[in-house]
Amino acid sequence: MGMGGATALALLAEPGPAVAKLLGGVAPATAKRLTTAALSGRETAAILGGGAASGLALQNLSDLVAHRPGDWKDNIGAMAGGLAGAALLPFNPGRAAAIASATTTAVQKGLHGRGISLEDLSHSAMAGRLVGALAAKTGTGVSQSLAKQAKGRLGEALGTVRSAVNRMEREPGPKQLVRLDPARPGTIPDGQHGDFLFEDKFGPKAALSKGQRIAQSILGPNYIVYHWLPEDVGKILAAPLSGLGSRLADDRPSVAEPARSRRPR
């Protein structure tokens, strides 16, 4: 298989049996997600901005560990890769990381005027996919293994972050029973912001109680449900590592750029 085919395989193809066994558990879950609030514009911007920021942070950390001076061209490439990875992260963390790594490599080499070979992109994409998939597997497995109460706390913590991103910070104080219809069961929301109530759920078996369903039917869009699944945690863990593949492949000499001709780093 040529290098172009290898790159396409790293980005698009399903892993073989041996690799699939190693990366087991990273496929999207088949569990049905509760009807939840869609991603807002603020959340989308935060995800993309976080991807770019994590790419920049990873680049700076890599430069620091390698005792090399920072370079704005490398920083731009790392941010571009992080942005690309974040944009694709909801679909598949392994492929998102592969594209993030390949994008970082391509932009950095392009800005420095160095040759961009399919070999470089292939190695970067394959390394990125491996890192992203392993990170996603770890996050998914660890969160799935948590005790019920720990899962509940994790769901609440993630929900609090999400509501804060939407500038709907939850009011402080203990949780209190809310009975919207005196003749029907009430609910104890996980958070409140003015007239909005929040309910955070975690896990594939999560379901709304009778009181929660009543609150949802009465309040409509003012009753906000955030339902998290274990693979969401995997994606969150994979996100800041999405460009690591390009770092792993960065110092490998290539046909287009022999080691002796590389820019001092």
Shared domain check, 126 and 112: yes
Q: Which residue has the higher pLDDT, 231 or 116?
A: 231
Largest separation between any pair of C-alpha atoms in the chain: 80
Span 236-247, mean pLDDT?
A: 80
User: Do residues 253 and 169 both lie within one domain?
Assistant: no
Listed range (113-122, 148-157, 209-218, 220-229) with the worst mean pLDDT: 113-122
Does residue 183 sit in the same domain as residue 199? yes
The pTM of the full predicted model, rounded to 2 decimals, is 0.78
CA nearest neighbour of 235 among 126, 125, 94 = 94
pLDDT of residue 175: 93
The answer to whether residue 174 sits within a structural domain is yes
More confident residue, 145 or 90: 145
Q: pLDDT tens digit string along 128-170?
A: 999 999 999 999 999 999 999 999 999 999 999 999 999 999 9
- Please check whether residue 27 lies inside any domain of the structure: no
Q: To the nearest whole percent, how much of the chain has pLDDT over 70?
A: 82
Query: What pLDDT, on the 0 to 100 scale, is given for residue 250?
Result: 66
